Amino acid sequence: MKVENRSSEAATLARRLTQRFRVASSRYGLIADGDRILVGLSGGKDSLCMLELLARQSRIYRPRFHVEALHVRIDSVQYEADASYLSAFCESVGVPLHVVTTSITPSAVPSADELPTVSHAARKPMCFLCSWNRRKQFFNFAQEHGFNKIALGHHQDDLLHTALLNLTFQGHFSTMPVRLEMRKMPLTIIRPLATICEADIRAFAQQRGYQPLRKTCPYETATRRTAARELMSQIEALNPEARYSLWHALEAAGKLVEA
C-alpha cells in the first residue's frame, strides 16, 4: 500500500509540474514553432528539471522546437558538476550537450559600454561577476550556433525573492521577467519554471534521483538572497497565499514580460 501511495504521489507531482510548465509557456509566450532553445544547464536540480520538461515537450507535435544544453564551467570558482553525469542525463532525454570553460579575469569583467552601471570589478560581488560571465558565454554560443532563445532555470521562488530584493534595496517593484527580448541581440531569455515553486522541484529531483553537484558555490550563502528567502518564509507564515498575491501583483504591473 505504501509503495502504491508513493507511486501515486510521484505521478501527481509529475502532472502538476508538467501542467504548470505548459501554463507558463502558453500564458507568457515562451515557446513557438521553429524555436531553437539553448538550455543553461548548471547541473543543479532546477536546470535538470527544466531540461527534462523541455525535452519531453519537444517530442509533442506542437509547437515543434529544438533543444540543446550548454554547461559553462568557470575554473576560478569552485562550483562543479559531474560532466559524465550531465552527459548521461542529456543522452537519456535526447538532448545534445555542449561544455564551455572560462575564467573570471580582468578581460572578462563587463565594461562600461557592455553594462553602464559597472565601473569597476571590485565594486561587484563574485556572484555578479560569475553570473554575468556565464551569461556572456551563453549569449555568444547561442548567436554563433543559431539559437534564438536561452532557457534559464529560475523558478517562482527566485522571481519572488528578486522582487523583494528590488523593492527593499533598489526602490522599485520588478523582478526577472519570465520572457525577456534582448534589445542588442536577436535573443529571447525564457524562464519555463517561473510558475513552479522550489519545493515541488526539490521533491521531483528526489523522486527522479538527480545527482547533486560535486561542489556547491562557496558564495551562495553569503548573499542577500538568503535573507530574502527567510523574509519570504516569514511572509508566508503570516499568509500562506502570499506568494500568489505577490505574483498577481507582478503580473498586473506588467513585470513578467519585457519586449
CATH of residue 32: 3.40.50.620
Q: Which three cell numbers stand for residue 51?
A: 531540461
Alpha carbons 129 and 239: distance in angstroms, whole number: 36
Query: Which helix (DSSP H) or strand (DSSP E) does residue 32 occupy?
Result: none
Query: Which helix (DSSP H) or strand (DSSP E) does residue 144 occupy?
Result: helix 126-144
Extended strands (E) in 85-169: 97-102, 149-151
How does pLDDT run along the chain (259 residues), one tens digit per residue?
A: 455 566 788 899 999 999 999 999 999 999 999 999 999 999 999 999 999 999 999 999 789 999 999 999 887 666 668 899 999 999 999 999 999 998 776 454 555 444 444 333 334 456 677 778 888 999 999 999 999 999 999 999 999 999 999 999 999 999 999 999 999 999 999 999 999 999 999 999 999 999 988 656 655 655 688 889 999 999 999 999 999 999 999 999 999 999 7
Domain of residue 9 covers: 2-258
Q: Which pTM value belongs to this model?
A: 0.88
Q: Which three cell numbers stand for residue 48?
A: 535538470
Q: How many domains does the chain have?
A: 1
